[in-house]
Amino acid sequence: MSYELARDREFMLPASGVFIALSLCVAVLLEWLPWHGWLLALRPDFVALVLLYWCTHKPHRVGIGIAWMLGIFVDVADASLFGQHALAYTVLAFGGIVLHRRVQMFSLREQAIHVFGLLLASYVVYAVVHWQVRGYIAWEFFFGALTSALLWIPLTFLLQALRRPRRDPNEL
């Protein structure tokens, strides 16, 4: 009984603005990891994943405006087409905010399926922009949505563990 109560109140854990910003900065740093060859097609979008986490868990703190600004920053940092990530992250944030109650209603495995659909929608935006600019779509690019969705469960455990209040101030 107490487990269900604790699970139901998991969304009420506090999250400071500094912690949210720090987690998004770490996601940007993870985005800069060097990927080569066939691993490049499997590269998860860490920024999109952390952004979606905050849009589904704290939609009143992280919204479409933050997603757009973060996308512009990632476009500049990645030297990609200006606005490509901003548009995709905006679509992702909109979906995360609209579906945040539905996503939290399910277990983590079922949440990963919803997250896969939302990430797939943002990857479709990447593909459409790529098609408009270069004239073709690289289909292996969609594997990144799958690897990102597979990371949803560990990311959720990690961020919730870091948000959980400590009983002892010296506890890690």
Report whether pLDDT(155) > 90. yes
In a domain, 24, yes or no: yes
In a domain, 158, yes or no: yes
Q: If residue 141 lies in a helix (H) or strand (E), which one and from where to where? A: none
Residue corresponding to tokens 């990430």: 119
User: Would you say 118 and 95 are in contact if contact means Cβ atoms under 8 Å apart?
Assistant: yes
In a domain, 69, yes or no: yes
What does pTM read for this prediction? 0.85
In a domain, 118, yes or no: yes
In a domain, 170, yes or no: no
Report whether pLDDT(2) > 70. no
For 162-170, what is the mean pLDDT?
A: 71
Helical H segments across the chain, by residue range: 2-8, 17-31, 39-42, 46-57, 64-78, 84-98, 100-105, 108-134, 143-150, 152-163
Residue 153's domain comprises 16-163
From 144, 116, 117, 118, select the one nearest 130 (Cα to Cα).
144
Phi-psi map region of 119: left, alpha, beta (phi>0 left; psi -120 to 50 alpha)? alpha
Structural tokens at position 40: 């490049």
Burial label for 45, CB within 10 Å (0-12, 13-18, 19+), is buried
Q: What is the pLDDT of residues 108-139, one digit of tens each?
A: 899 999 999 999 999 999 889 888 888 888 77
Q: Whole-angstrom Cα distance, residue 46 to residue 92?
A: 13
Greater confidence, 90 or 13?
A: 90
For 160, other C-beta atoms within 10 Å of its C-beta total: 15
Q: What is the pLDDT of residues 29-48, one digit of tens each?
A: 998 888 887 787 788 999 99
In a domain, 76, yes or no: yes
Q: What is the pLDDT of residues 74-101, one digit of tens each?
A: 989 888 888 899 999 999 999 999 998 8
In a domain, 171, yes or no: no
SS3 assignment, position 147: helix
Domain count within the chain? 1
In a domain, 10, yes or no: no
